[in-house]
A and B are shown apart, each in its own frame.
Chain A
């Protein structure tokens, strides 16, 4: 059992939990994910590592209520326990293999949508601590749904906020902000996009116009998360890959997003965010 030592409501239906899992905390790196099960009847669901504290022996997860399993997790309170936490799984972000000297001064752009802001956080924090120059585009439906703004501000060199309704930051989508930044002549060595699959697809199309190297983190269906089931298979560069062991991060330009979205919908609409109608790409 894994004790929830801290719980915070980040937005309606979105909660952050700090969970006691010393071995996982010891090994976790940015870009990796965990498999979490709320109780005996619960599904094994993949959740990206949102932070880790090796000394305290805790890992942080952020969950949004999208179905029965995520509701179960969000209903747990401080002091309660999660049945299972396994990980860290998947490959860490590529940049963790680079030396600090290589990262220093490198210009990174992170493009995060909705819940995607949470998994971007440990990456931004990691890079910022090593002297990289990191900017973040954070998009949400509305001001009230924007999460981790303060935390993010503390670890990045520029936070560009946008909301669907203009209630905070620019009015519009993350792709619009990306267009604006690139139009202003800003230069980035690399970009990383994390968010709903459809968002990542359109960020990829936008980034391509600028030849901006782009990594995406795929939140596919999974069961075991260790390479056993193949539920997470995705076509990358024309080859079938398992997101759980080969990923979850891939070169965005090689990902077949349409297939990935279709496969994600395998078990009906349970993964669709509760009330956010994603409009990215609808104008095309």
Chain B
């Protein structure tokens, strides 16, 4: 039986070596390994994996092509549903999605769908295979705000359908969180992000950087002055949260966003970059999500000793398992059930430590997770000269506050339904800008659904005659 073959482990850079560099941790599969892993797939009649994929990649179909050795066909099948396979193969939380639903996983280990997707995407890039099939232009302009995962996915689908799509990006480089947030060792920028963004461009999408919607142009300008007929807002969740505890404005306290943006977007880890980054010797990262892991592992690579403090237990860590495992291997320390209450001043306005209290798990809260509650009298101090707050992010209010008729939720997200429809006609939204910080793939799924809604809306409004 094919499922007797153990899951093929992807080779990885040795932890001792990778703590000192920013090169990618996982090497991924070679052709032989990919074909072997593909042979484990049962090719189920009712593939549970596909239903668990937010963009519904035809997983068993592409895996069967890998098994045959037709990697080009595998890539074509993936490209129908995903514009960022080399990204998703690397950063998706597969254990909760496709691989979590894999039938093999009930008794054994699931098929390594993520690693196979990555293999196919890397293979097509290395072999110059690109799918640029699109319907001829219908001349209708659609604006996409933000070039992160939701914007790229939305733009790609609209372009394939024949729309003239322009993406407006506030920063100087396209990619959004893929560029400023996720570090090189997890998602190589030149090799992977740039190449997948170029694939979207190859579909005819224009990307304009340095345009801050809400400032440089308003959403109204897009309709009235620039002639766009629909707008998709995929501006992400850019606003960092802080704890509101004493000492948070001391020198040496950073949001994970700042720390990672300096390192990733601005390349502060490279000798020739002008952007400074302050790492210190003992770094304390507060939080337990993927961003916390990214910040911790970045600080480690920049030479610091790093401790992650998290107020719940290992079981509740929201980060992907693989990231936590990699962080541990690299020598990151974890202190569970610990919550900071104050950041301590060295007397000159710089961080000298962090005062914490111990927590225990109480009754489940509204998220269904057991809520951490402080243990009375359990305060203790930890030494640190840098504190990085990785507590999640909220949507940036800039667009909503400068656009009339756009409703916002209490938490600052844009109000939009499952299909991306907002409270204003012609304006659609999706991804973190709606949900608050989530994952790359959920944002892509939202971008795709919004692309369908936009198509439907424009067909209804301008008639299918104009839309070839």
Contact = CB atoms under 8 A, between A and B. Distances in A.
B261 A229 contact: yes
Nearest to A258: B349
Nearest to A239: B244
A37 interface: yes
Given A27-B216, A228-B239, A223 B261 contact: yes
A32 to B, nearest CB: 8
Interface string A222-243: 0110111111011100001000
Contacts of A88: 215-216
Interface size class of A (residues with CB under 8 A): 35 or more
Given A88-B215, A240-B248, A263-B251, A227 B258 contact: no
B262 interface: yes
B217 A230 contact: no
A230 B170 contact: no
A141 B121 CA distance: 60
A68 interface: yes
B100 interface: no
Nearest to B350: A262
Given A227-B238, A227-B239, A229-B258, A87 B396 contact: no
B215 A27 contact: yes
B274 A87 contact: no
B215 A44 contact: no
B143 to A, nearest CB: 14
A99 B278 CA distance: 46
B213 to A, nearest CB: 10
B345 to A, nearest CB: 10
Contact of B266 (A44, A240, A263): A44
Contacts of B257: 228-230
A41 B172 CA distance: 12
Contacts of B272: 41
B336 interface: no
Interface string B250-290: 01001101100110001100001111101000000000000
Contacts of B249: 233-235, 240, 259, 263
Contact of A23 (B216, B238, B261): B216
A229 B216 CA distance: 20
A145 interface: no
Contacts of A235: 249
Interface of B: 170-172, 180, 209-212, 215-217, 238-240, 242, 248-249, 251, 254-255, 257-258, 261-262, 266-267, 272-276, 278, 349, 396, 398
30 contacts: A23-B216, A41-B272, A41-B274, A72-B274, A83-B172, A84-B209, A86-B171, A86-B210, A86-B211, A87-B212, A87-B216, A88-B215, A89-B212, A89-B215, A224-B170, A224-B180, A226-B212, A226-B238, A226-B398, A229-B240, A229-B261, A229-B262, A230-B255, A230-B257, A230-B258, A233-B249, A240-B249, A259-B249, A259-B349, A266-B278
Given A86-B210, A265-B251, 7 more contacts: A224-B261, A228-B258, A229-B240, A229-B258, A230-B240, A230-B255, A263-B251
